[in-house]
Amino acid sequence: MRLKLLVLIAAGALTITGSLWAERWRADGNNAEQVNQNAPSCDRACLVGLLDQYRSALVAHDPMRLPLDSSVKYTENTIALPLGQGLWATASGLGNYKQYFSDPTAGQVGFIGVVKENDIPAILAVRLKIVNRRITEIEAIVPREPKAALRFEEMGKPEALWEEILPPGERRSREELASITNSYFEAIVHSDGGLAPFDKDCRRAENGSYSVLNPDPNMVWDPKSSFRPFQMGCAEQLNTGIWSYIRNIRDRRFPIIDEERGVVVALIMFDHPGTVRYFEVPGFGRVDNPPEFLTPTSMEIFEAFKIRNGKILEVAAEGGFLPYGIRSGWEKASAGSLP
């Protein structure tokens, strides 16, 4: 009888405790919702300001200068690191080149620029996610290519078209901009320039160097061949099969979309298995791939797109070689994105 009474008392206590936890959960949920409703929004100036604050804290080696969320996540070249390690320990200065990409709707901001690492220049591409004016995600891509970083410094500033606000008739919705960007990656995977809507003046820069419509005779794919793909346009170049060594483009994310400017920032992973030794160019013949594409590698790429009137006008891609098959570190964030 006593045992039965104890069981009933315990059951009652659990019921009361469970009810209290349920009430607390509902209260916490309501409080969180109230905080979100009352939290000041972070507009374009706010987002860019936080990005500049990030850069200053980086060279000061002091992440505590930032308004960090308690759950903040930091990756550098796909690897999750504690803030204060990696580039945070070696950054010694900032370059002059600065390019910002902001999306107040998504609370995300991106940047392409130059950082000095023990006085050696490197490219810095970074994405921040902001919630309630606190930084919850930091994704840094650091191609440690001094010559490429110096190209940015020689340019001084981005092309003016990136900041141009499009007339309403030349804009596209967020969904359309993401779909157009995704079609570009489909065009690469299938070596078919007709799969993406390219502007006739489309240009693409990779780590600060234009890889299409570039008249520089020193830009060659294979020194032994007369094949000159870098002088071609975006669609024409894709149709040659030049990018056939890229066998997979995965973890496609489009975290920053600016409808006013027609700008999208994509973060993706390229896989190069190293098995494609050459490709056949229609009307030309066999072209051998350079040595850097003959070993298994992957790349995490920060790629920005300027889309005007539904057509890709400009592309800027930053990235470097990583171990083959490495994960982006943001797979969960990729779950709802386009394939």
C-alpha count within 13 angstroms, C-beta hemisphere, residue 171: 12
CA–CA distance, 215 with 36 (Å, rounded to integer): 52
Its pTM stands at: 0.86
Tell me the two tokens of residue 281.
């160019």
Q: What is the DSSP string of 260-279?
A: TTTEEEEEEEEEE-S---EE
CATH number of the domain at 163-332, out of 3.40.50.2000, 3.40.640.10, 3.10.450.50, 3.40.50.1980? 3.10.450.50
Q: How far apart are CA 250 and CA 238, in angstroms?
A: 19
For the chain, the structural domain boundaries read 44-155, 163-332
How many residues are there in the chain? 339
Architecture of domain 44-155: Roll (3.10)
Tokens of 79: 């690897």
Q: For every one of its 339 residues, what pLDDT tens digit does the chain have, with 9 covering 90 and above? A: 433 333 333 344 333 333 332 333 233 333 333 333 434 589 999 999 999 999 999 999 999 999 999 999 999 999 999 999 999 999 999 999 999 999 999 999 999 999 999 999 999 999 999 999 999 999 999 999 999 999 999 999 999 999 999 999 999 999 999 999 999 999 999 999 999 999 999 999 999 999 999 999 888 898 888 899 999 999 999 999 999 999 999 999 999 999 999 999 999 999 999 999 999 999 899 999 999 999 999 999 999 999 999 999 999 999 999 999 999 999 876 554 444
Longest Cα separation, the chain:
97
The answer to whether 322 touches 297, Cβ cutoff 8 Å, is yes
For 73, the token pair is 């996540």
